[in-house]
A = this chain, B = another copy of it.
Amino acid sequence: MPRNPAFSHSEYRARVDKVRLAMDAAGVEVLFATDPSNMAWLTGYDGWSFYTPQAVLIGPGRDPIIWTRAMDAPGGRLTTWMGADHILSYPDNYVMHPDRHPVDLVPGLLSDLNWAGRPIGVEMENYYYSARMHARLAAGLSVAPMDATNLVNWCRAVKSEAELVFMSRAARIVEAMHARILDTFAPGMRKCDVVAEIYDAALRGTPEFGGDYAAIVPMVPTGDEAAAAHLTWDDRPVPSGTGTFFEIAGCYRRYHVPLCRTTWLGKPPRDVAAAEAAVLEGIAEGIDAARPGATAGDVARAFYGALARHGVEREGRCGYPVGLSYPPDWGERTFSIRPEDETVLETDMVFHFMPAIWMADWGLEITETLRVVEGGPAEPLAQVPRKLFVKD
């Protein structure tokens, strides 16, 4: 993974052009994007610096600007494509200060760039654009900021060839992670030691390429904990006669391929086996429905229709687009695989098809990350046997 940056300059320029078109359509002349995934996708910027304010600015007449804390400017120079003069920063005495806020300096920055007074778009719904940041930015501008949430995210939905190469590597990594679980998981093992095995496979990757950190840590609940969707782990031994689901992703240079499987230690109860049959049928029908021109809703309806034939009532969200991400979410937060979502699927969109069943005292997750392809059903990026694993 040489730094500086992950993709070719022409790929980044094509991404910026796509965003400029979306900005034109939205009437946004200057974009102030704080989502670290959007920042990295547009510029290559990579670093765990998003816990202090930072942004990419796109406006007329120049390449994107990265704006960070002063101590992160060297990281900006090392990881982006635009050149050192496109890395601007604010001093450290603005960081986590009771009175000063880095965003107080943005109106001056916009003036320096000759962008003052232009319609500006901000990402109102983002982990890295706080309510205070917005209030203070808005107070310092002569025009009210427009809500440009997901403007860049939507541009990321269809993956490039180069991105698909990264995702195929993430797929090899998640295959290795599940192989490791199957190999090592056994009754009596402490959950933290199971997670150590998962991280080891995730990070070592293959001899050709190593793994990056996923935007979500492994979620690996056992028994009645598995009725809860988002528990992580503890250090208790895993008892036999229980099911554990493994919600994990392979990650290569910030590109994710999530894939979940469930493993039963001992013989699974009859209702779990019945749920497995329903879910497998639903996944197959969902995959078959996921074609260019079909909608996200079509995929969800195919899945829930199969479940209903098995007498399983479930509704809601069973998937979301994935690709480049930073914590706390590996989803892209644009469309959802749910019956009411009429987003039209296009070739080379990639989404995590995540049908899961959480009952009162167990949970079952068997999922696939799918690439939408021309002329056929969607293609799973990773090859992991699609079933409930049982270790007796």
Contacts and interface: CB of A to CB of B under 8 A. Distances in A.
Interface of A: 1-3, 46-51, 71-72, 74-75, 77-79, 91-93, 95-97, 122, 124-135, 147, 149, 190-193, 195-196, 199-200, 203-205, 209-213, 216-217, 219, 224-225, 227-236, 253, 315-317, 320, 327-329, 331, 333, 336, 338, 340, 358
Contacts of A47: 228-232
Nearest to A53: B125
Nearest to A129: B131
B127 A128 contact: yes
A230 B48 contact: yes
A362 to B, nearest CB: 11
Contact of A75 (B2, B92, B212, B231): B231
- Which of A51, A128, A225 has most B Cβ within 10 Å? A51
A134 B336 CA distance: 23
B74 A232 contact: no
- Chain A to chain B: the 10 pairs with minimum beta-carbon distance, closest first: A192-B210, A210-B235, A1-B234, A131-B134, A75-B228, A92-B316, A124-B132, A196-B203, A74-B228, A51-B329
A193 B203 contact: yes
Contacts of A217: 48, 213
A114 B198 CA distance: 47
A225 B79 CA distance: 10
B212 A203 contact: no
A330 to B, nearest CB: 9
A74 B130 contact: no
Nearest to A201: B196
Nearest to A149: B132
A211 B235 CA distance: 7
Contacts of A122: 131
Nearest to A216: B48
